[in-house]
């Protein structure tokens, strides 16, 4: 019985809700064990999909939440449409992230290596299909398996290069440049093959000459649209900016990507080619970093849905079939060899030694997003069947898992990867050490604000770690805060501007600090914390446990009590570096004593020595000198330490604690308590009121 539109949409809403949670759970689990979240999302789709748990009957869903639609389209057309939109977002983002300048600058080296990798991968993938399927070279299945073997997922490699500080090494730059050519050549090949598939779909025989004409037409369509998009990229950027602010022109840019995707599909090519072309064109404009940042939220929502839907299309019975496994492992092994030979061979001839050549080949091994998209296109177009789709999934999983450990080992080997010593590039790196992490962060914020005033577009690549990219016209800056240091990379001719801007920021900050120094009455600010009406958050008070309470502190002076409290903190299991915590606590005390009034002391600090906020509670009934505000001995000590990075409610905990301890009756009960259990009982009684 045909469902009405309301039932279909209700079913779709439930499906998307389940997918959202499933991909995040499995994606996070994958990252925790050190593998890309993409694989976790793919596995999530396999598990909840129609070939596994998806067809189990549930209340309100007699055929299961994810019933099998058909052999060529496992999920419902409505859900599949979400994955199509996700694939367009994915390729649009990939195009935006492409460094066109790097593409042109390393066009010779990157082009030769990228072409070598694509050519050898395509040939070996195609030949594997010919042998295993007993068919010919021009069979569309052979062509598709050839293309799916070409697409490198450079994001995995880039993360490893970044972790190893090898992004700007000869191997790192070459891999990234070759990957750009790899993507472009893969898109061109897909355009050609889709043109052939479109021509063959009529059922008529097509001669070799006709195939050549079809391929030329498909390539010409791609080339014309790409060339025009890049030539008129600045005009396109100006057009989308007419729609308003950064969020508005980002949406307008994606609208253009959808238009171009539709045009390519109408011409018998894949929609993702149009999306990639739009992104590639806009990548060289000054609005590219902003689009990249603003589209991130949409990307995070849609793209995991795509990988889940791809996982749902995997028939696990087919995947477990011995014939599929043999085919899959042969195809995978040759896909790995193809990149090492195809990319490593040309690299060896272009000045890299054997070590460097193998590093480059290994860096090009991972396949991922694009291979899955092409596989999905092939499956829905009925070019490949479930068996071949499973082969591609297996290849994607193995290459993605195998490449990171292999590349880590190769990059860890001592010695350069080039035959000759390579001199530093035109780009300069300047590092300022401000000796204080908070000062460095403050200067970074002020510097970025000044760049915005200068007309730069700022993209926060990693807000938590203070990593940003700024771009205006031909000027590009990479800015990063590394502890107390500020690291800026830019072209040599722009470094004078950077130094001048930093100098002005430092002068302004210094002037502000001098003005602040004139405010001597800091005790008035300190007393603002002491208020019996402070909000007491029950959840925050729960961070205090019996293990971190001492009813009889042994110390007789301030320095010793700080050390005793840090040892007490260790019992929370959250301290990872005792010395770092103690040093940070003492450094904070040296700025100004944390002794308050009424016998209360709140020593606190932010430290890399703890993994999350922790609290120690101690009583010294006879009291000791803590340089308190009221000059009286401190008797109740609460030490609060939270990590320097990430979210942590340190001030909320301090405010809650002072709010509790301002009550005379409660302080008296704490001082009269015998043992940690009684102290904890007094503290917990606050939550019960």
DSSP for 268-313, written as a single string: TS-HHHHHHHHHHHHTTSTTHHHHHHHTHHHHHHHHHHHHHHHHHT
Do both 485 and 543 map to the same domain? no
Catalytic residue among 267, 296, 578, 604: 604
Residue 342 has pLDDT above 90, yes or no: yes
267 assigned to active site: no
Q: Is residue 517 part of a domain?
A: no
Q: Is residue 130 part of a domain?
A: yes
Show Cβ contacts of residue 462 under 8 Å, excluding neighbours closer than 6 positions. Answer: none
Convert the pLDDT of each residue in 607-661 to its tens digit.
889 888 888 989 998 899 998 888 889 999 999 998 887 667 777 778 778 777 8
Do both 345 and 480 map to the same domain? no
Q: Is residue 153 part of a domain?
A: yes
CATH of the domain at 349: 1.20.1530.20
Do both 587 and 535 map to the same domain? yes
- What is the rounded distance in angstroms from the CA atom of residue 346 to the CA atom of residue 652? 59
- What is the rounded distance in angstroms from the CA atom of residue 216 to the CA atom of residue 188? 11
Do both 504 and 541 map to the same domain? no
Q: Is residue 254 part of a domain?
A: yes
Q: Which of 412, 444, 463 is the last residue of a domain?
A: 412
Do both 383 and 354 map to the same domain? yes
Q: How many structural domains comprise the chain?
A: 3
- The rounded mean pLDDT for the chain is 81
Do both 86 and 164 map to the same domain? yes
Tell me, rounded to whole angstroms, the distance of Cα 472 from its chain centroid. 24
Q: Which of 412, 441, 458 is the last residue of a domain?
A: 412
Closest CA to 610 of 636, 638, 572, 637: 572
Closest CA to 109 of 360, 302, 322: 360
Q: Is residue 654 part of a domain?
A: yes
More confident residue, 185 or 515: 185
Do both 400 and 436 map to the same domain? no
Q: Is residue 513 part of a domain?
A: no
Residue located via tokens 């939550």: 687
Convert the pLDDT of each residue in 23-74 to its tens digit.
999 988 988 887 778 888 889 999 999 988 988 998 888 888 999 887 667 8
> What local confidence, expressed as pLDDT, does residue 253 receive?
93
DSSP 518: T
615's enclosing H/E stretch is strand 614-624
> What local confidence, expressed as pLDDT, does residue 25 receive?
94
Do both 175 and 152 map to the same domain? yes
Confidence of residue 487 (pLDDT cuts 50, 70, 90): confident
Residue located via tokens 């983002």: 93
Q: Which of 379, 412, 445 is the last residue of a domain?
A: 412
Q: Is residue 418 part of a domain?
A: no
CATH of the domain at 441: 3.30.310.50
CATH of the domain at 614: 3.40.930.10
pTM, entire model: 0.64
Do both 391 and 440 map to the same domain? no
Do both 376 and 249 map to the same domain? yes
Q: Is residue 422 part of a domain?
A: no
Do both 249 and 213 map to the same domain? yes
Domain containing 668 equals 525-688
Around 237, how many Cα atoms within 13 Å sit in the side-chain half-sphere?
22
Do both 219 and 305 map to the same domain? yes
């Amino acid at each position: 019985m045909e469902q009405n539109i309301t039932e279909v949409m209700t079913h779709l809403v439930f499906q998307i809700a389940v997918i959202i949670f499933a991909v995040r759970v499995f994606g996070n689990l994958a990252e925790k064990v050190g593998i890309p979240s993409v694989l976790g999302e793919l596995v999530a789709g396999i598990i909840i999909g129609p070939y596994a748990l998806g067809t189990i009957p549930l209340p309100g869903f007699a055929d299961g939440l994810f019933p099998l639609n058909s052999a060529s389209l496992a999920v419902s057309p409505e859900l599949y449409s979400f994955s199509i939109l996700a694939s367009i977002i994915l390729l649009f983002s990939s195009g935006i992230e492409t460094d066109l300048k790097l593409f042109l600058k390393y066009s010779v080296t990157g082009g030769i290596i990228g072409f070598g990798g694509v050519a050898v991968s395509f040939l070996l993938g195609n030949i594997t299909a010919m042998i295993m399927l007993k068919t010919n070279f021009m069979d569309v299945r052979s062509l598709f398996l050839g293309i799916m073997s070409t697409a490198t997922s450079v994001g995995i490699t880039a993360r490893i290069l970044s972790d190893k500080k090898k992004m700007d090494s000869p191997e790192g730059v070459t891999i990234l440049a070759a990957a750009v050519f790899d993507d472009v050549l893969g898109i061109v090949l897909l355009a050609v093959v889709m043109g052939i598939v479109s021509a063959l779909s009529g059922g008529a025989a097509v001669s070799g000459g006709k195939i050549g004409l079809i391929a030329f037409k498909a390539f010409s369509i791609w080339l014309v649209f790409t060339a025009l998009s890049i030539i008129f990229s600045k005009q396109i950027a100006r057009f989308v900016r007419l729609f308003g602010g950064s969020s508005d022109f980002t949406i307008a840019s994606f609208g253009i990507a959808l238009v171009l995707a539709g045009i390519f599909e109408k011409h018998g090519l894949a929609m993702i080619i149009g999306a990639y072309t739009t992104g590639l064109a806009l990548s060289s404009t000054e609005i590219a970093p902003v689009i990249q940042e603003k589209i991130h939220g949409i990307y995070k929502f849609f793209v995991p849905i795509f990988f889940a839907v791809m996982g749902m299309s995997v028939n696990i019975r087919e995947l477990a079939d011995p014939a599929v496994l043999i085919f899959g492992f042969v195809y995978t092994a040759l896909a790995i060899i193809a990149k090492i030979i195809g990319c490593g061979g040309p690299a060896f001839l272009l000045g890299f030694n054997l070590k460097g050549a193998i590093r480059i080949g290994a860096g090009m091994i991972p396949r991922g997003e694009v291979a899955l998209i092409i596989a999905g296109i092939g499956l829905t177009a009925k070019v490949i069947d479930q068996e071949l789709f499973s082969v591609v999934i297996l290849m994607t999983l193995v290459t993605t898992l195998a490449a990171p450990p292999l590349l880590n080992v190769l990059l860890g080997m001592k010695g350069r990867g080039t035959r000759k010593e390579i001199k530093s590039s035109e780009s300069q790196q300047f590092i300022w050490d401000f000796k204080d992490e908070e000062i460095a962060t403050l200067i970074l914020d002020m510097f970025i604000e000044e760049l915005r005033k200068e007309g730069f577009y700022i993209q926060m690549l990693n807000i938590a770690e203070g990593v940003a990219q700024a771009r205006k016209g031909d000027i590009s800056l990479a800015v990063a805060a590394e502890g107390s240091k500020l690291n800026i990379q830019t072209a040599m001719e722009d470094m004078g501007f950077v130094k001048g801007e930093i100098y002005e920021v430092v002068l302004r900050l210094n002037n502000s600090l001098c003005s602040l120094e004139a405010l001597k009455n800091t005790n008035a600010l300190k007393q603002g914390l002491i208020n019996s009406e402070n909000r007491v958050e029950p959840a925050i008070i729960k961070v205090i446990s019996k293990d971190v309470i001492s009813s009889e502190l042994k110390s007789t002076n301030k320095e010793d009590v700080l050390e005793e409290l840090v040892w007490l903190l260790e019992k929370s299991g959250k301290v990872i570096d005792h010395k770092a915590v103690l040093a940070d606590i003492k450094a904070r005390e040296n700025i100004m004593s944390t002794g308050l009034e009424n016998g209360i002391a709140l020593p606190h600090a932010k430290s890399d020595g703890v993994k999350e906020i922790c609290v120690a509670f101690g009583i010294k009934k006879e009291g000791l000198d803590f340089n308190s505000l009221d000059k009286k001995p401190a008797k109740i000590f609460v030490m609060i330490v939270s990590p320097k990075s990430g979210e942590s409610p340190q001030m909320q905990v301090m405010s809650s604690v002072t709010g509790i301890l301002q009550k005379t009756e409660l302080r008296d009960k704490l001082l009269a308590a015998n043992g940690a259990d009684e102290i904890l009982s007094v503290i917990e009684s606050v939550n019960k009121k």
